[in-house]
Every structure is written in structure tokens, then in C-alpha cells.
């Protein structure tokens, strides 16, 4: 029989969990609404909003736009961010600290301020409403996440293993491929995931640099909800929730297997 304080602690944790999850969970029943309204609780049951998401070109195009942009961003930001993390962690302590502070500014500066700056420059350079424009802006926003994740991995990485590998006959590139990379890979992968998500659900900058011809999913959600309270939004939300949950669960399981071996 667990003691009373233990039960109390358990209940409290449950309460916090509900508070954190409730706003997300509300979306799920709303997505099966039988009426054309975003009301909660929903009335009736239907798959029509899911159907709409997969049939309406406004939604499918914006979804594939977001997917393409986020994938490119994940690749570019991971490569650039990983290289930056190496630079920061292997430079002299003071230089490294300064570089790091500079590189994570996109995380600290208010999004609106950044968005205004980016918009102003993009107007001149005709990057508004282009995939290149989105990729550049989102990569900038994503690099700090990769930097932080990879740097954390590098900090626990024992550099003496590189010396050992060299003594066994490995050149610098081989050392990186066979020792350094496999050992910091978890950091790189979580950086890549963060970069993907950063781009995929980015809205502030996207609202500034979007155009009628190139909308990302968050922009489409925002315009549709402000224009006609379309419950398709709830269906999209539910799908995204499921997708991210699956990714995170897969990541956790993978991490658990790794920890056991």
C-alpha cells in the first residue's frame, strides 16, 4: 500500500500532466465535428474534415511546401550547425564562448523583430514567396538548436579517443567517420529533428515572407482559421499531434535500446 504523501504526489503529477496536455487533446474531438464550426464540445461525428484535408489543394500544397522546406532546412541546418558546433567547442574557450553567443542570437531575438528585418531584405532581393527565401530564413532559426544539441554531445565526447584512433593508424577523416561521428550521432539526429520541427511549425517569419503562390502549413492554418473557422484545422492539428507523438516515442524507444547495449 503506497503511503498517503505518495498518492498525493501522484495525483499532483497527474494534474500537471492534464494541464499540459488538455489544450492539445481538445483538438482531437473537434476534428470529428459533424457541424461546420470549431465549437467544443463537438456535435455529431464525421471524417469530413480529414477528407477535406486530403482533397483540398490549398491544404495538400501547403503541407507539401512545409514538408519540402523543413526537410531541406533540416539537412542544411544540421550540416552547418554541426560544423559550427565543432568550431565553437574546439576554439579557445573565450573565442568559442563569444561565437556561441553570436550563433544563438536567432533564438533570443524576438521573432517579430527578425521577421521585419528578413522581410525588408527579402523585398529588395526578391526572395519573398520563394522556397529559397523560406529555407534561408528557417535555416537561420534552426541553426541554434542544432548547435546546442551537437555541442552537448561534443562536450561529453572524449577527444582522447581521437588520439587513440590516430595511434592505431586512422587518418583524420577516418577518425571522424569511425569514432567521432558515431559517438555524437545522437546529438546530430536530435539537432536535425529540432531543425525540422523549427521550420515545420514556424509561423511568424512565414507570415511576413509568404505569398499567395507559396504558403506553408502554419500560414494556411492561420489564414483559414481567421477567415472561416474551418474545422479542417482541427483535423490537421490531430494529424500533426499523432505524427510528432510517433516520432518522439520512436526516439525514446531507440534511446532505451541504445542505453541497454
Partner 1 sequence: MTASAGAAIEIRKASKRYGAFTALNDIDLHIRPGEFMTLLGPSGSGKTTTLNLIAGFTDISSGTLEIGGKSVTGLPSHKRNIGVVFQHYALFPHMTVGRNVAYPLTLRGIRGEERDRRVKRALDMVKMADFAHRYPNELSGGQQQRVALARALVFDPPLLLMDEPLGALDKKLREWLQLEIKRIHRELGTTFVYVTHDQEEALVLSDRIAVFNGGRIEQIGTGRELYDHPATLFVGRFIGESTVLRGMAETTGDGTTMIIGGQRIFAQGRLPGEARPVILLRPERVGLKRAGADAVTGENRLSGTVTEAIYLGSGSKYEVRLADGTVAVVRSPLGAADFAIGDTVDIAFLPTDLTLLPDDASADVTLT
By C-beta, is 22 or 156 nearer to partner 1? 156
List residues binding partner 1 (CB under 8 A): 158, 160-161, 163-171, 174-175, 178-179, 182-183, 261
> What long-range pairs does 102-109 form, CB within 8 A, spacing at least 24?
103/143, 103/144, 103/147, 104/144, 104/147, 104/148, 105/144, 106/140, 106/141, 106/143, 106/144, 107/141, 107/144, 107/145
Distance CA 187, CA 144 (A): 13
Minimum CB separation from partner 1 for residue 78, in Å? 20
By C-beta, is 5 or 169 nearer to partner 1? 169
By C-beta, is 34 or 255 nearer to partner 1? 255
Say if residues 38 and 231 touch (Cβ distance below 8 Å). yes
Minimum CB separation from partner 1 for residue 98, in Å? 22
Minimum CB separation from partner 1 for residue 89, in Å? 19
Minimum CB separation from partner 1 for residue 176, in Å? 13
By C-beta, is 83 or 161 nearer to partner 1? 161
Degrees (nearest 5) of the Cα angle 105, 109, 114?
Answer: 105
Amino acid at each position: 500500500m503506497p503511503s498517503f504523501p505518495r498518492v498525493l504526489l501522484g495525483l499532483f503529477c497527474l494534474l500537471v500532466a492534464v494541464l499540459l496536455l488538455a489544450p492539445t487533446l481538445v483538438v482531437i474531438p473537434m476534428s470529428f465535428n459533424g457541424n461546420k464550426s470549431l465549437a467544443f464540445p463537438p456535435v455529431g461525428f464525421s471524417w469530413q474534415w480529414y477528407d477535406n484535408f486530403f482533397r483540398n489543394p490549398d491544404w495538400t500544397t501547403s503541407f507539401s511546401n512545409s514538408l519540402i522546406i523543413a526537410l531541406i532546412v533540416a539537412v542544411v541546418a544540421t550540416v552547418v550547425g554541426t560544423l559550427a558546433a565543432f568550431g565553437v567547442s574546439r576554439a579557445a574557450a573565450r573565442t568559442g564562448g563569444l561565437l556561441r553567443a553570436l550563433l544563438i542570437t536567432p533564438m533570443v531575438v524576438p521573432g517579430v523583430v527578425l521577421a521585419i528585418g528578413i522581410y525588408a531584405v527579402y523585398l529588395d532581393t526578391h526572395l519573398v514567396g520563394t522556397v529559397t527565401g523560406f529555407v534561408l530564413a528557417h535555416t537561420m532559426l534552426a541553426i541554434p538548436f542544432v548547435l546546442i544539441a551537437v555541442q552537448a554531445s561534443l562536450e561529453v565526447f572524449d577527444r582522447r579517443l581521437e588520439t587513440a584512433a590516430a595511434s592505431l593508424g586512422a587518418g583524420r577523416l577516418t577518425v571522424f567517420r569511425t569514432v567521432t561521428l558515431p559517438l555524437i550521432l545522437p546529438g546530430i539526429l536530435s539537432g536535425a529533428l529540432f531543425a525540422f520541427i523549427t521550420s515545420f511549425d514556424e509561423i511568424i517569419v512565414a507570415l511576413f515572407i509568404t505569398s499567395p503562390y507559396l504558403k506553408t502549413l502554419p500560414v494556411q492554418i492561420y489564414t483559414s482559421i481567421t477567415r472561416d473557422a474551418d474545422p479542417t484545422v482541427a483535423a490537421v492539428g490531430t494529424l500533426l499531434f499523432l505524427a510528432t507523438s510517433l516520432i518522439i516515442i520512436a526516439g525514446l524507444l531507440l534511446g532505451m535500446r541504445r542505453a541497454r547495449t
